[in-house]
Homo-oligomer: A and B are copies of this chain.
Amino acid sequence: MNKKLYHKVIDYINEEITSGNLTIGDLLPSETQLSKLLNVSVGTVRKAIDKLENSNLLYRHHGKGTYVSDYGFDNSMFNFFSYGSETGSSIRIYKTTPIRKKTTATTEVALQLEIERGADVIYLERRGYIDEKNPIIIEKSWWIAEVVEGLQKPNIHIPDLLYALIYKKFATQIITSKEVLTAGIADSKTAKILHINKGDPVVILNRYSYAKDKGLVEFRITTGRADMFSYRTTIGNNDY
Contact = CB atoms under 8 A, between A and B. Distances in A.
Interface of A: 2, 4, 7, 10, 14, 51, 54-57, 71-73, 76-77, 82, 88, 174-185, 199-203, 210, 212, 226, 229-240
B182 A229 contact: yes
Contacts of A240: 2, 175-176, 210, 212
Contact of A234 (B72, B176, B181, B231): B176
Nearest to A229: B182
Oligomeric state, in copies = 2
A235 B181 contact: no
Nearest to A174: B236
A232 B179 contact: yes
Nearest to A10: B237
10 contacts: A4-B239, A14-B236, A51-B238, A71-B235, A176-B237, A177-B236, A180-B231, A181-B181, A182-B226, A201-B201
